[in-house]
Amino acid sequence: MSDHSARSTARSTALFDQASAVTPGGVNSPVRAFRAVGGVPRFMASGDGCHITDVDGNTYLDLVCSWGPMLLGHAHPQVTAAVQAAVSRGTSYGTPTEAEVLLGEEIVARTPVDKVRLVSSGTEATMSALRLARGFTGRAKIIKFAGCYHGHVDALLAQAGSGVITLGIPGTPGVTEATTADTIVLPYNDQPAVTEAFAQYGDQIAAVITEASPGNMGVVPPQDNFNAFLAQTCRAHGALFISDEVMTGFRITRSGWYGVDGVEPDLMTFGKVMGGGFPAAAFGGRAEIMAHLAPEGSVYQAGTLSGNPVATTAGLTTLRLATDEVYAKLDETSATIQRMVATALDKEGVPHVIQAAGNLFSVFFVNSSDSSRPIRDFAGANAQVLPRFAAFFHAMLDAGVYLPPSAFEAWFVSAAIDDDALAELESALAPAAAAAAAVQN
């Protein structure tokens, strides 16, 4: 593995020490701590287009994009101008504003939902959708899938992906058995397991929740008709089908993963891109279900900063700029990078599997015996050679490319990536592939 010393990290190191004195682990979201890859997390100072610059003055090609929201790149001039104008009018009122109405209309126009409720985070969106599903059906049990992450909602942290698996946490202290007693965890892409669960608990199941196309155990797309099967099974048993598009929504296509498979859920959750880099999320669904939400109905949900005027302005401007041409550019860029990564790893004989869902993709560093086998579920994603990824990650970081600091995350591209940026990436890949090849199983 690299000694991580190719670039100065003095200021990041000092800030990490300073942060660790006042914040658990020195970070405000666990995966940022670099625990899975080692080394000092980089503290960023600015972003411009497809690059970010840390406090030590090191610039990186950004393939994290704030975990998805920066679809257009950093500091996009039109988004920045709209946000500055919104801030100049005031940052929060605690009242309805026009921007939240327009953002709601934009989401409804792009998806099958009839109505939406704006919130401030993806976790809040999924938590609220579950409460609404239980209130609507009068049932308690929820089905989720191992490796799918739906935010840090207590009932959904059982066998979750993302930071939980990255840190090797088997369960989460503070989440009681009573909280998860009504959560049924099944293997992803396993139709017989779903059928069996409904046969046993059908009249008790309020909802099935799944990532529309999972990206929190790495990108593991649904097998053909899996989402349609889930929707049909839920309808047959009077349960609701909840599609979590916090990650895929408005990133995969203008309509998210719904624009790929066309399966209409009963409820959907959104986040990331719809906030344009600000804390904003939403959940929505059929009008008859959403009518159960307060103040129209009796299922309570509220938020002081929900529909914040600055966040909704950023999100609305981002969505309006996310044209078909932008999505075509994202798809082309993603496909090019996937080919470049595969070529570099193949040249060094590094076993790997690359899987994509639209412009989202992941590189799985697998054992040689698994290199021709697609990753279909959490067990497959969990069988990676993690030290090999860590070596690859740090070599890329030293060469000026910022990847997700976890083997269980998606890579994100932005429309700001150009030919010069792709050349930067290509020059970084050769030494990174060699570093990965040097790690034994």
* Nearest in space to 79 (alpha carbons), one of 402, 436, 415: 415
Catalytic residue among 62, 244, 266, 398: 244
Residue in 141, 272, 327, 377 annotated catalytic: 272
Burial group, residue 203, by CB count within 10 angstroms (0-12, 13-18, 19+):
exposed
244 in catalytic set: yes
CB 128 within 8 Å of CB 119: yes
Place of tokens 């940022």: 32
Residue 60 among the catalytic residues: no
CB-CB contact of 141 with 184 (8 Å): yes
CA separation, residue 368 to residues 181, 221, 427 (Å): 39, 22, 25
Distances (CA, A) of 367 to 70, 219, 364, 371: 33, 18, 10, 7
Q: Write the DSSP string, 265-291.
A: -SEEEE-GGGGTTSS-EEEEE-HHHHT
- Using CB atoms within 10 Å of the CB of residue 334, give its burial: 0 to 12 exposed, 13 to 18 middle, 19+ buried: buried
What kind and span of H or E run contains 143?
strand 141-145
Of 370, 362, 376, 344, residue with least CA distance to 441: 370
Catalytic residue among 54, 60, 149, 329: 149
Q: Which parts of 256-357 fold into alpha helices (H)?
A: 258-261, 287-290, 309-321, 324-347
Q: Can the peptide bond before residue 387 be classed as cis, meaning omega within 30 degrees of 0?
A: no
The answer to whether residue 190 is catalytic is no
Which residues are catalytically annotated?
Answer: 149, 244, 272
